[in-house]
Amino acid sequence: MRIQPRRQILNVWSSLLAACYQENTWIWGGRDGSNSISDAEQLLCLLYPATQISSFGLHNPDRMADDVRTILKPLGRERRIGLKIVEVLDEYLRRYERDDQPIFSAGSYLRSTEATEATDIQRTVDVVDSYSMSLTVCLAGLQFLRALRDSTGGSGEQQRLEQLIKPVEERLKKRLTAAMIGLVRSFVVQSVDPDTETGASMLSMFNQTGAEPDAVVAGVYRRLERVRGRLRRDVTLNRTPQADLESEGLLFECGWSWGVIEGAETIDFIDVPIAKSEGFAVARPYLYFTIIALDGINDLTQPRTRELDLLDADQRRLADALQLRWDLAQRYWSAMARYGDGDWPLEDIPWRTSDGEESDYFSLCVSGLLIQDLIAREADDDDLTRATAIFDELARRGRITRRLTEDDPARGLHIPGVQMTLHGTDAIDNGPLLAWAVSDYAPMLLKRILQAAQLSRTLSTRRRLLQLAQSTMDHLELRAFPGGPAKGLWDDAARVFVSNAPTDEPIEPAPDEIRAPSWYLTERIIECLVVAESAYTNPPYRSPTSLTRALELLDEADHLLNQRFLELSERDNTPNRRALENIEKNLVRASKLIDERPGTAFSLCVTALRELDGLEVASLDAMRGE
């Protein structure tokens, strides 16, 4: 089926309210229980489209679209909807505060890698995923409150609204500041000796031509000279003390670990606990947490954040620090994904991380980092063409566009997902080593394909990407719950991936769990639909060939029209004049559209030429009749 963002988002909203709004009460929690990340994802399913897409705006009841008003009727009448969202937002903020300070615990998302269960203290540890989601929630919340305040009329109503939203706004700003600090202190630069196992793993990816290791190390050093220099010179807030960026014989990598790194410097210009809290995360970047951090920071760096003046002075300083890290991390991974003169390391699927682990999911993460960098800079069509082939291969290997086989290892990408060990968690409360499972392979693939399609200026590449996006959306639609309490939400992956599973593997979730929605996956599909809406809102791609041909037809039609007008007298009010005047109107419209929609202009010109030819034939027939 065609990707239809408006209809699909409204369907999710309808299912969302049916699943978690009953008897005027918002019900938190889903398949993975209730924690600061899952509840943020649940809230963003509603709040993110409402703040990213103008036609989904909920702040002004007088301008609310009829279909939106109908879908959200369970929340109350038009003026009640905005206030209810403020209440739910405030409830979320209060749930994840302790001693008046924000908390960013992963809770039920953490899994033990050992026989013993994670301790209660371990489950309270802050993670980058929560920092990133909180950035998006807080920015969306602040934007919503600003719009709600601006759309309220009457001094009495304005005063009552101010009393309601002022404390919520203060909590949002406090949580936003804390999340930004957490992300700054979770960024890491790791220097790597090429002679170690870690160095060998990195070289095995970068060396696609069989060159001598020393030559590859020297080449990587030259390729990353600017990034290395800026890391040494410009990253002054929370430096990573153990990273050696001076030695030419060392490799390095940068990005985000799973949480505040062990030995992270304190941030002294803001007096909040998270600025000085102890870190436990191993000082090396994880691909998943790096791309998650970049997605959150991307919301922070959007022009609207600056235009609306949502940040105070301290937050702007933190935002500048994060934007620098955002830029350097994207440049690093984009350069490494395309390193060398032959095949890209990224084309050598699966990607091998510096700790020696391999997975198609890691290739997808690096592809996402590449696309993020291409969005930030002017994309090259050759890069996008090569990236398209990678996305196509990842869709096949992930069984998005190919059938699942018996004992297929690709099943593990989706159920239970790729497991990442959170090194350092065993130092917390003397508990077991914890892990994090990621199962968003399909929605991450869809989001990056749609972003690449927006960038492409080659018709064949763009069409191929959109077809691949459609196939991926078809796959995801099959995984939506067809019935039950979570109808229309995700993720019923068992419908696609468990039917062929070996009988001795207990992959399918327990019955009570499978009926609950996964906000983790549902929110990511909402992100995809928002990206799709943005892609469709933009003007269609203007082919240089179509533009040239449309100009040629417009010139010919305009010239023939002028010839026909020369044959009419001033007093001529025959049907011929009226026909020519209509043709003139169409050509005027074609000239206005020719730059943005050359295909439409081309069609108008063809119609005008056909009508002009018809008038000429009629004139010739009349002359013969005389």
DSSP string, 504-548: TS--SPPHHHHTS--HHHHHHHHHHHHHHHHHHHSPPP--HHHHH
What are the DSSP calls for 331-393, one per residue? HHHHHHHT-SSSS-GGGSSSEE-TTS-EEHHHHHHHHHHHHHHHHHSPPPHHHHHHHHHHHHH
Closest among 465, 502, 473 to 490, alpha carbons compared: 473
Q: Percentage of residues in the chain with pLDDT exceeding 70?
A: 94
**Cβ burial, residue 358 (10 Å; 0-12/13-18/19+):** middle
**126 close to 274: Cβ distance less than 8 angstroms:** yes
Tell me which residue of 167, 26, 4, 186 sits closest to 92, measured CA to CA.
26
In the chain, the amino acid numbered 581 is E
Whole-number pLDDT of residue 448: 96
What integer pLDDT is reported at residue 617 of this predicted model? 84
Whether a cis peptide bond, with omega within 30° of 0, leads into 506 is no
What is the model's pLDDT at position 502? 39
Over range 593-621, report the average pLDDT: 87
The pLDDT of 610-617, averaged and rounded, is 88
How confident is the model over 252-264, as a mean pLDDT? Answer: 94
Q: Are 486 and 494 in contact (CB under 8 A)?
A: no
Question: Which positions ≥6 away from 411 have C-beta within 8 Å?
Answer: 399, 404, 497, 501, 507
User: What mean pLDDT, rounded, does the chain reach?
Assistant: 89
Q: Which SS3 state, helix, strand or coil, does residue 25 take?
A: strand
Q: Quote the pLDDT of residue 178.
A: 97
Q: In whole angstroms, how far apart are CA 50 and each of 55, 88, 145, 462, 517?
A: 8, 14, 12, 28, 21
Residues with Cβ within 8 Å of residue 619, at least 6 apart in sequence: none
How far is Cα 304 from Cα 143, in angstroms, rounded to an integer?
Answer: 9
> In Å, what is the CA distance from 270 to each residue of 176, 218, 313, 314, 448?
13, 41, 11, 7, 36
Q: Is 25 exposed, middle or buried (0-12, 13-18, 19+ CB in 10 A)?
A: exposed
Instruction: Report the percent of the chain where pLDDT is more than 90.
Output: 66
Backbone angles phi, psi at 230, to 5 degrees: -70, -35
Domain ranges of the chain: 10-537, 544-625
Confidence of residue 133 (pLDDT cuts 50, 70, 90): very high
pLDDT bracket for residue 380 (50, 70, 90): confident
pTM of the model: 0.88
Which letter does DSSP use for residue 272 in this model?
Answer: S
Round the CA-based radius of gyration of the chain to a whole number and report it: 28
Determine contact, residues 240/188, Cβ cutoff 8 Å: yes
- Predicted confidence at residue 618, as pLDDT, reads 80
> Looking at residue 369, what is its pLDDT?
95
Residue 89 tokens read as 């937002």
Q: Per residue in 483-518, pLDDT tens?
A: 988 999 999 998 888 754 433 444 444 444 557 899
Neighbouring CB atoms inside 10 A of 469's CB total 26
The pLDDT assigned to 523 comes to 97
CB 260 within 8 A of CB 128: no
Burial of 520 (0-12, 13-18, 19+ CB in 10 A): buried
Q: Which of 31-35, 144-148, 593-597 has the lowest mean pLDDT?
A: 593-597
Q: With bands split at pLDDT 50, 70 and 90, how would you rate the model's confidence at 156? A: low
The answer to whether 203 touches 122, Cβ cutoff 8 Å, is: no
Note the pLDDT tens digit of each residue in 511-553: 445 578 999 999 999 999 999 998 888 776 777 788 888 899 9
The Cα 12–Cα 8 span in angstroms is: 6
The whole-number pLDDT of residue 536 equals 83
Beta strands in 61-134, from DSSP E residues, in sequence order: 97-98, 101-102, 110-112
pLDDT digits (tens, 9 = 90+) for 297-342: 999 988 888 888 899 999 999 999 999 999 999 999 999 999 988 8
- What pLDDT score was predicted for residue 153? 61
The pLDDT value recorded for residue 507 is: 42
